[in-house]
Amino acid sequence: MTKRWRTLLSAIALAVVATVAEVRAQPSQTFIDSIDVQVVEVDVVVTDRKGRPIKGLAREDFELYVDGRPAEIANFYESAIYVEQRAGRRNKERPIVRSEGTPGTADEGALTVVFYLDDPNIYPSHRTRLLRRLEAAVEPWRSMDASFILARFVHRLEVLVPPTPDLDAILEGAASVPKGSPRAIQNGDGARRFAIRSLIDSDEFCRMTPYCRPCEDNWGELLSLARQYADNQATNAAIAVDGLADLVTTLSGVPGKKAVVYITDGLPQRPGISVLDFLGNELCRDLRPTANSETMAEMVQYDESRRFNRISAHANANRVTFYGVDAAGVRSASPDISLDNPSRAPSFRNVGLRSTNAQSGLYLLANETGGKALINANDLSILLDDMTGQLSASYSLGFVPEERKLGEVRQISLLLAPGADKGRRIEYRRTYRDKSLDERLAERLLSVAYLGNAENPLGAELEFGVTKLLEKKTHELTVGVNVPAESIVTLPGKDGVSPNASAQLRLWLVAVEDEKGARTTVRQKTIAVGGETGVPAVDGNYRVEVAMNLPEGGFQVAVGLRDETTGVTSLIREPVAVPNREAVN
């Protein structure tokens, strides 16, 4: 919990005490209101014309707008990171990032860096090349005051190395990371070559068939083949974005800024566009006058911009910045010579369109979240050096929205004030989304379930009962939560004079399977404690029990407990084996 929030909670507690005293004189009044203050943090990077970081700016040097309306900057601080120069690899001067302690900004300035492998969309040779260069690329970060995570996506999100300040643990995890997914070969250039060959085969078959007019009589078949490829690519893009969404949700409970190094062979904004373009602008251009317009209409149907904008808004809502890496590196613009008739291969223009489209999603995510995208380069250190430069010139601006619009994406615009804007460039998150308290608590719980970054100011403890077999391989597990009564702020009833004070606790829980990472739905309930009707304190503790139905296996059970009076929240996690027999003793 940050110093600012501790101060806020103290103020709330004092207000509650004062209100209670007043209520005793006026019993008919409500004595407490639910307070949910959300400070939106905007991380900003300022550079000059040559990309060099600008430091020493003040609050007055920025102008903030939300949905086009001026917003007051409630809090402001410069990043607590500075850069030293030293000789790096290849005798080149490279920056070393260190943390500089700044009072009162420990949580706000925290940084988590995630290396994320989108395995189904990384060609194995590209993946191997990048991982081999990872150790040299991250060398300047050894003095960084940050936590590091190694994760990948295959059929689900896998956290291979949980948060650690030890960069060697990340490198060791990368060296032993499981092999890439076979789907990467199927999803990559191989699928595109197959689609192109299928179109050419259909065209040549028609030419050899009497009375068959190419691109006219077989147009339906050609369009169907192109659509099939585009559909598959759209599905792959949707799965990749779902993986990113899971990653962002998992990071939501991690304090401070999060930088995701997203490694993939591409994230096409319009899946299938190159095959549709080949069909309309090359294969059938001279044989069907409407081919271009018809395939153009198809391309519009496969636009994934909205999906990417949604994941950008989700990332911005959780202070996650994307740094995209096109693992394909320097892409060849040469046509495919593996075809039986290379003269019919897609043109240089079409191959370039395919590359640009594959990189477009990386650009969009990076631009919307204030990050960068590395394309047409084989050296991973180029991107990581850019990240280092950004981290050394980072500011955070916080504001409290004047009005809440839960679930809506709000637009952020940030300008440098006159006098501070000369030749300078700023990068920042472009949107944010108002999230309800329930959604924020559920996301924080999922973060604890996967990453284990627990916080327990209430001193709550978990206990597991003996499981009971319900049906084949399904067991009922009792989860007991004990919280010290002295940690909960109880208040008199609405009449202000009831002798038995009571409180409300909000409890929510989730279980994540160790082996497959599958999780239960997040369950939530509100419990009254103390007073005449609430759960009584026994031996100085309130105890709440909840039953969960789980299959056999190992699980991480995460539980959140919130004192509704003060807003103080505990998030804890404990492992359990199902069936559980330990409680017998």
pLDDT of the residue at 9: 35
If one compares 542 and 26, the residue with the highest pLDDT of the two is 542
Round to the nearest angstrom and report the end-to-end CA distance of the chain: 37
pLDDT, the chain, mean = 81
State the Cα–Cα distance between residues 175 and 416, nearest whole angstrom: 44
- pLDDT at residue 425 above 80? yes
What is the DSSP secondary structure assignment for residue 335, as one 8-state letter?
Answer: P
- pLDDT, average across residues 74-98: 55
Does pLDDT of 340 surpass 60? yes
Indicate if the pLDDT at residue 415 is higher than 70.
yes
Question: If you average pLDDT over residues 204-219, what whole number do you get?
Answer: 93
Residue type, 286: D
- What crossing angle do the helices spanning 219-251 and 305-317 adopt, rounded to 10°? 0
184 backbone φψ class: left, alpha, beta (φ>0; ψ -120 to 50):
alpha
Six token digits for residue 22: 């007043």
Residue 220 burial by Cβ neighbours in a 10 Å radius (0-12, 13-18, 19+): exposed
Q: Which residues of 270-309 are buried (b: 16+ CB within 10 A; e: fewer)?
A: bbbbbbbbbbbbbbbeeebeebeebbeebbeebebeebbb
166 pLDDT exceeds 70?
yes
Are the C-beta atoms of residues 240 and 264 closer than 8 Å to each other? yes
What was the pLDDT predicted at 347?
87
Which string of b and e fits 453-488 if b means at least 16 CB within 10 Å?
A: bbeeebebbbebbebeeeeeeebebbbebbbebebb
The pTM score is 0.78
Confidence of residue 442 (pLDDT cuts 50, 70, 90): confident
